[in-house]
Amino acid sequence: MNEQVINIKDVTKKVSTGGKSNNLEILHGISLTANSGEFLSIVGPSGSGKSTLLHCMSGLSKPTSGSVNILGIDPYKLRPSKSAVFRRTQVGFIFQSYNLVPALPAFDNIVLPLRLSRKKIDKEKIYQLLKNINFNANPNNFVSDLSGGERQKVAIARVLVSNCKVIFADEPTGALDSVSGEIIFGLLRDLTEKGVCVVMVTHDIEMAAKTDRAITLRDGKLRKILDNPNAQDLFDALSEEKK
């Protein structure tokens, strides 16, 4: 039986603009849950709050109000040292901006969380993973010398080898060609079969239609939750929101 691993309640996020404090509300009282082994997608137009929601629910950006619970823990109540360990060992992140260390080679970026956690590094397994995701660059090259697509693959490989229980992915296939995108999606899907919870922000309706559940956002509000969505349902839901 799958267990609940994410629970957010009435999450609101306000930001300061024009010299005024917390005057712009970009998330409006969002509540949702996700279970182990579930693939959840978040879709919506640009500016709808998708990435902001992902950051709030993952422990990266504290909401103005509301509660966040990941694996039974409120990440915003952890001390900085405990928070770093929690993020490194329990939660994985795939960012649009990659969040790699430019001064390190690709391979060292991939194994960095393992080294920090003093976990065993299986080089053969990592090289095989890079082959599986069509990483064609030299793993010893610095990430600053890689293309955007290759950097994204490094960021994804870093998460895939970390054995975390929850993965938050912000447009994980956005910088990839269609073939590589399908491969990455397949690897994330394989992880859910092993009990990992994956929460993915995407603009790709076809990809969202392959997830277990999709939520649609507009203007910072949760509009619909679709179980076992198909592309037409998602298209209709997003079209309705424009009216």
Query: What are the domain boundaries of the chain?
Result: 4-242
- Long-range contact list for 124-129, CB < 8 A, 24+ apart? 125/161, 126/157, 126/161, 129/157, 129/160, 129/161
pLDDT reading at 117 higher than 90:
no
Range with the poorest average pLDDT among 24-28, 213-217, 237-241: 237-241
pLDDT at residue 153 in the model? 92
Query: Could you write out the three-class secondary structure of 2-14?
Result: CCEEEEEEEEEEE
Reading the block at residue 224, the tokens are: 């619909």
Mean pLDDT of the region 122-134: 93
pLDDT at residue 21 in the model? 80
pLDDT reading at 1 higher than 70:
no
Q: Please provide the average confidence, as pLDDT, over all residues in the chain.
A: 92
Q: Is the pTM of this model over 0.75?
A: yes
Which of 222, 238, 134, 229 lies closest to 186 in space, CA to CA? 134
CATH number of 4-242: 3.40.50.300
DSSP letter for 75, please: G
Mean pLDDT of the region 104-125: 93
Confidence class for position 22, pLDDT limits 50, 70, 90: confident
pLDDT at residue 242 in the model? 60
pLDDT reading at 29 higher than 70:
yes
pLDDT at residue 95 in the model? 87
pLDDT reading at 243 higher than 60:
no
Mean pLDDT of the region 136-152: 92
pLDDT at residue 227 in the model? 96
Element (H or E) spanning 30, and its range? strand 20-35
Confidence class for position 207, pLDDT limits 50, 70, 90: very high
Task: Report whether 3 contacts 35 (CB < 8 A).
Answer: yes
pLDDT reading at 170 higher than 90:
yes
Which percentage of the chain shows pLDDT scores above 70?
Answer: 98
pLDDT at residue 2 in the model? 82
Mean pLDDT of the region 9-16: 95
User: What residues contact 75, with CB distance under 8 A and at least 6 apart?
Assistant: 58, 59, 68, 83, 86, 87
Which percentage of the chain shows pLDDT scores above 90?
Answer: 75
Confidence class for position 75, pLDDT limits 50, 70, 90: very high
